[in-house]
Amino acid sequence: MRSALVLLLVGAILGTAAAASGEVLAIWIDPEGDDYGDGDYVYPLNESFGEGGEADLLSFAIEKENGNLIFEYKIRNLVDPWGVGNRLTMVCVAIDTEEGGDKELRRNANCLLEAPSEYQIFAAGETVQMIDANSEPVDVEATVETDIEAGTIRITVPIDAIDGAAADWRFTPAVGLQDDYGAGGLGDFRDVKAEPEEWRGGGGHDLAIDPNVYDIIAPKAKRVLVIFGGDEIPQEEILGDYDLETGEMATIPALEIE
Ligand SMILES: [Ca+2]
Ligand SMILES: [Ca+2]
Ligand SMILES: [Ca+2]
């Protein structure tokens, strides 16, 4: 109970959970300005990306309310350059509920999962999609609410339909840029190349095995109360741990509700 209270207080101080009416199960704080993937990712050159920050995760919270699980991402700079809502930022979370599952984070993330997932949820703009371990869509009527001003993206997932016991699950959130291929629907993570191009990020590699995500939550950073202790594996090391020779992609660690 005491830790839950502290989590609520932290959320209130940061203003991330204050507006929510659900129970906050956990909130992880992520550093500002580490939207650089393995250390040197940069944004595409097109002016719509402006000063950047569209893929800078500041916090990730999991709430529970009326049989719904809510994932809230606070982003440093949500933008709407074309007056059509958020199309640049893409968020996702992989959910591990049991043994086995999908070892790869989909939609061009180019990352493996330490905790193979039974479900993956992706959202950008007004669209959200949930897939199962075989990449088949799961129709649970998930919804997404984006508040450009507040910098928040909230995904609501009815978990009764997937027999939820969220406290035992493991979660792997990731943030990048969306490429909807001009179609306006839910796209994929936008490619990161060695050198930035108008619509491609830079700082990665031209072989398509480097992560196309800009920001994750490194382990230990999840424990807001011991943020200064422990053996934190830096995000740079995690996202830079792909192998050009074997083609092995980087593996993202999972978060647990405690
Ligand atoms: Ca960040
Ligand atoms: Ca699993
Ligand atoms: Ca981070």
SS3 string, the chain, reads: CHHHHHHHHHHHHHCCCCCCCCEEEEEEECCCCCCCCCCCCECCCCHHHCCCCCCCEEEEEEEEECCEEEEEEEECCCCCCCCCCCCCEEEEEEEECCCCCEEEECCCCCEEEEEEECEEEEEECCEEEEEECCCCECCCCCEEEEECCCCEEEEEEECHHHCCCHHHCEEEEEEEEEECCCCCCCCEECCECCCCCCCCEECCCCCCCCCCEEEECCCCCCCHHHCCCCCCCCHHHHHCCCCCCCCCCEEECCEECC
Phi/psi at 225 (5° precision): -85, -15
Kindly report, residue by residue over 184-240, the tens digit of the pLDDT: 889 999 999 999 999 999 999 988 899 999 999 997 644 444 455 556 789 999 999
Locate the domains of the chain by residue range: 2-256
Q: Ligand 3 centre and the CA of 242: distance in Å?
A: 17
Q: Ligand 3 centre and the CA of 163: distance in Å?
A: 30
Which class is domain 2-256? mainly beta
Ligand nearest to the CA of 151: 1
Its pTM stands at 0.88
What residues pair up with 166 in beta bridges, in sequence order?
Answer: none
Q: How far apart are CA 164 and CA 179, in angstroms?
A: 31
Residue whose pair of structure tokens reads 């509700």 in the numeric block: 257
The alpha carbon dihedral of 179, 151, 144, 257 has a sign of positive
Q: Ligand 3 centre and the CA of 36: distance in Å?
A: 9
Q: Ligand 3 centre and the CA of 205: distance in Å?
A: 20
The per-residue b/e assignment along 73-85, b for 16 or more CB within 10 angstroms, e otherwise, is: bbbbbbbeeeeee
Q: Ligand 1 centre and the CA of 160: distance in Å?
A: 31
Q: Ligand 2 centre and the CA of 133: distance in Å?
A: 8
Ligand nearest to the CA of 254: 2
Q: Ligand 3 centre and the CA of 63: distance in Å?
A: 20
| Ion ligand 1 nearby residues (CB, 5 A) | 30, 34, 56-57, 215
Q: Ligand 2 centre and the CA of 102: distance in Å?
A: 7
Ligand nearest to the CA of 102: 2
pLDDT at residue 155, as a whole number: 97
Q: Ligand 2 centre and the CA of 139: distance in Å?
A: 19
Kindly report, residue by residue over 115-159, the tens digit of the pLDDT: 999 999 999 989 999 999 999 999 989 999 999 999 999 999 998
pLDDT at residue 170, as a whole number: 94
